Structures are given as structure tokens and as C-alpha cells.
């Protein structure tokens, strides 16, 4: 939930449909977990610009 301060206070309740940790909740950025070996293979396939 978020509490907004201002002239009129209100409380926004946001249901959690997936598990998010502090980083995701604080920044709004989702972290996708991938196996390091798979990530290395994907990066090796990319061509440099």
C-alpha cells in the first residue's frame, strides 16, 4: 500500500498477485531471474553494434 501526503490524504491498497521483494516494490522494476549459463549463451549470440 501507499500513503500519499497532501491536502487530502488517501490510502491506495494494491493487491499482490505475484511475489515481489523490496527492490521490485521500491523501484517498480521487475527482476527476471535467468540461469547464468543461459544468459551467457544469449549474450554470445548477440552481434556487437
Distance CA 23, CA 29 (A): 8
Query: Looking at residue 32, what DSSP letter applies?
Result: -
* The model's pTM: 0.37
Tell how many helices (H) and how many strands (E) occur in the chain: 2, 2
The pLDDT tens digits for 4-42 are 666 777 777 777 777 778 888 788 888 888 999 998 999
CA distance 49 to 36: 23
b/e per residue 28-46 (b: at least 16 CB within 10 A): eeeeeeeeeeeeeeeeeee
Amino acid at each position: 500500500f501507499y500513503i500519499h501526503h497532501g491536502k487530502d490524504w488517501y490510502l491506495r491498497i494494491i493487491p499482490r498477485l505475484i511475489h515481489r521483494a523490496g527492490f521490485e516494490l521500491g523501484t517498480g522494476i521487475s527482476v527476471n531471474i535467468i540461469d547464468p549459463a543461459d544468459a551467457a549463451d544469449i549474450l554470445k549470440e548477440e552481434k556487437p553494434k
